[in-house]
């Protein structure tokens, strides 16, 4: 299994190329002619340019927006690293189905469909609209005692994400957001960035759902122990993902890889989604050009992840919920940038006198 899946993954990774400068230049040319002081719409203009280049379309339109929220459980929760019990993962999936969670509200607000993916929840859900059951396992194993996943499981979870990106492409989705739900999942996310950045766990670990000082110290100790025990190899991204990652993180990683291969721009959410993006970009660093980082999370490891990816977050509103809530807002802001590129008039079109603006 591993070999065949690994070969498949490599094929998808090899299909991902750097953005075509022709489209970047074409977009910039139009942006330079808009009837505004040069560059005065700031980063919004860059969002439009990047989006156009990913789509290879100088006048793109965002019509279909979709957020995939991956849910999974974590064996490491038995170490007592979270403020919430394990069953909350499945309870929140039911809340997503009711439409009453943060991601439902903000997804609706942004006009984005929310698809919830059970990639590893320790519960058998009944069939429900909007829930995709694509379970790879009933949660990870406790990384403080053994590897969280086998390499096979990690590859399989990445494959789930890739297959969803292909589905999105078939459905004509124009932009994808990522989201997560998994009690305990800031622990593997911190472990992943600690492994790649060779950072002391204390420097990349925060309070997740809101743990006390005491639990935070335990969480740091658990991550330190898991890294010492499993020795993930930072030069082998799949090894890191399998040993100290999570199933939803692997799913997000696969979704990002698949989306880049399909040339669908991806807005990554916060800390957990960015952990998936870090693994994806370690596998092929061109993927970074297909990504927008929605926001800066309160989790302190997030800044280190974003710096590693050379991504600047779109906003910082002190969010630390996950689910894809930041991605929903981010999708709408990227869309604003695309409309700046495509709906505004140029000096010529608007009959406005060009000044000597050169800022």
Check residue 321 for interaction with a second copy (CB under 8 A).
Answer: yes
Residue 18 CA neighbour count, 13 Å, CB half: 3
The verdict on 81 binding a second copy (CB under 8 A) reads no
What does the per-residue mask of binding to a second copy show for 280-309, with x meaning CB under 8 A? ------------------x-----------
Shortest reach from residue 202's CB to a second copy, in Å: 18
211 sits near a second copy (criterion: CB under 8 A)? yes
Q: Is 317 an interacting residue with respect to a second copy (CB under 8 A)? A: yes
- Please report, for residues 200, 247, 351, the alpha-carbon distance to residue 324 in angstroms, rounded to integers and kept in the order given: 27, 16, 42
CA atoms within 13 A on the CB side of 277: 34
Q: Cβ of 164: how many Cβ atoms within 10 Å?
A: 25
**Cα 161–276–85 angle (5° rounding)?**
95
- Select the residue interacting with a second copy from 4, 98, 170, 235 (CB under 8 A): 98
Rule CB under 8 A: which of 322-341 touch a second copy?
325, 329, 332-333, 335-336, 339-340
Distances from the Cα of 326 to the Cαs of 163, 284, 298, 306, in angstroms? 24, 24, 12, 15
Residue 26 is encoded by which pair of tokens? 């074409």
Q: How many residues bind a second copy (CB under 8 A)?
A: 66
Any contact of residue 351 with a second copy (CB under 8 A)? yes
CA dihedral 243, 217, 79, 282 (to 10 degrees): -20
323 is catalytic: yes
Alpha-carbon gap, residue 34 to 321, rounded angstroms: 38
Q: Does residue 5 belong to the site contacting a second copy (CB under 8 A)?
A: no
Least distance to a second copy from the beta carbon of 320, Å? 5
Taking CB under 8 A as the criterion, the residue among 61, 233, 286, 352 binding a second copy is 352
- Pairing label, strands 266-268, 291-293: parallel
- For the chain, the straight-line distance linking the first and the last C-alpha, in angstroms and rounded, comes to 56
- Closest approach of Cβ 15 to a second copy, in Å? 32
Q: Which residue is it, tokens 């906003």?
A: 315
Note whether 59 binds a second copy by CB under 8 A.
no
Q: How far is the CB of 35 from a second copy (least distance, A)?
A: 6
Q: Which is nearer to a second copy, 100 or 172 (CB)?
A: 100
Q: Which is nearer to a second copy, 15 or 215 (CB)?
A: 215
DSSP 15-73: T--PPPHHHHHHHHHHHHHBSSSTTTTHHHHHHHHHHHHHHT-SS-----EEEEEEEE-
Enumerate the active-site residues.
323
Task: Name the residues that contact a second copy, by CB under 8 A.
Answer: 34-44, 82-85, 87-88, 91-92, 94-95, 98, 100-102, 104-106, 108-109, 207-212, 298, 314-321, 325, 329, 332-333, 335-336, 339-340, 343-345, 349-353, 355-359
């Amino acid at each position: 299994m591993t070999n065949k899946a690994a070969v498949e993954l490599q094929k998808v990774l090899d299909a991902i190329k750097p953005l075509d400068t022709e489209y970047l230049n074409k977009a910039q040319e139009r942006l330079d002619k808009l009837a505004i002081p040069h560059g005065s719409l700031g980063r919004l203009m860059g969002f439009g340019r990047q989006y156009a280049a990913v789509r290879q379309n100088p006048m793109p339109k965002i019509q279909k927006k979709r957020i995939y929220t991956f849910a999974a459980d974590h064996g490491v929760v038995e170490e007592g690293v979270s403020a919430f019990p394990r069953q909350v993962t499945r309870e929140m999936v039911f809340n997503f189905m009711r439409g009453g969670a943060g991601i439902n509200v903000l997804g609706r607000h942004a006009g984005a469909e929310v698809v919830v993916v059970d990639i590893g929840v320790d519960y058998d859900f009944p069939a429900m609209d909007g829930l995709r059951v694509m379970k790879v396992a009933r949660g990870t194993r406790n990384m403080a005692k053994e590897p969280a996943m086998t390499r096979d499981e990690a590859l399989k979870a990445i494959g789930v994400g890739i297959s969803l990106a292909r589905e999105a492409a078939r459905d004509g989705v124009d932009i994808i957001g990522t989201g997560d739900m998994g009690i305990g999942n800031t622990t593997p996310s911190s472990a992943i960035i600690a492994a790649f950045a060779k950072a002391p766990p204390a420097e990349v670990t925060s309070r997740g759902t809101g743990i006390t000082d005491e639990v935070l110290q335990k969480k740091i100790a658990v991550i330190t122990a898991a890294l010492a025990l499993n020795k993930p190899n930072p030069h082998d991204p799949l090894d890191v993902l399998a040993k100290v990652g999570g199933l939803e993180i692997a799913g997000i990683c696969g979704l990002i890889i698949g989306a880049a291969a399909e040339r669908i721009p991806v807005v990554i959410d916060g800390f957990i989604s960015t952990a998936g993006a870090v693994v994806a970009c370690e596998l092929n660093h061109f993927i970074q050009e297909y990504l927008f980082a929605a926001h800066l999370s309160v989790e302190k490891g997030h800044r280190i992840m974003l710096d590693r990816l050379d991504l600047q977050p779109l906003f910082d509103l002190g969010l630390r919920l996950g689910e894809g809530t930041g991605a929903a807002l981010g999708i709408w802001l990227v869309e604003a940038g695309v409309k700046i590129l495509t709906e505004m008039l140029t000096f010529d079109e608007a009959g406005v006198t060009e000044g000597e603006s050169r800022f």
